[in-house]
Amino acid sequence: MVLIMGRRKRRKLIKPIKRVLPKIFTCPNCGTISVRVVENERKTENELFYEYKVICGNCKASLTKNSPKKIEHIDIYNEFVDKIMKGEI
């Protein structure tokens, strides 16, 4: 009689997938994936504010926005899409 020793099964660790916001977006005007958001930090005498530029590399559609606080790039892109859909750009 042959006895085979079994091993204890190890439980696999399930790693959570962390989602990352995109850096390059799709242009609603021309349909290419060529829109980026550029952020510049500006300091005046007593205030700090941020200047955001949304630029399409293909059709050159753009939006510039100044804000006293930091805003996520996806929020600026959504505002850009809304203005293009309304016909303001």
Q: Rounded distance, CA 20 to CA 76, Å?
A: 16
Question: Strand 24-25 relative to strand 62-67: parallel, antiparallel, unpaired?
Answer: unpaired
* Residues spanned by the domain of 67: 24-86
14, part of any domain: no
Place of tokens 């349909």: 31
Q: Is 81 helix (H, G, I), strand (E, B) or coil?
A: helix
Number of domain units in the chain: 1
36, part of any domain: yes
Residue 43 one-letter amino acid? K
Query: pLDDT by residue (tens digit) across 56-89?
Result: 999 999 999 999 999 999 999 999 999 999 998 8
59, part of any domain: yes
51, part of any domain: yes
| pLDDT confidence of residue 11 | 83
42, part of any domain: yes
17, part of any domain: no
Query: pLDDT by residue (tens digit) across 28-60?
Result: 989 999 999 999 998 888 888 999 999 999 999
46, part of any domain: yes
Residue 38, Cα to own-chain centre: how many angstroms? 11
15, part of any domain: no
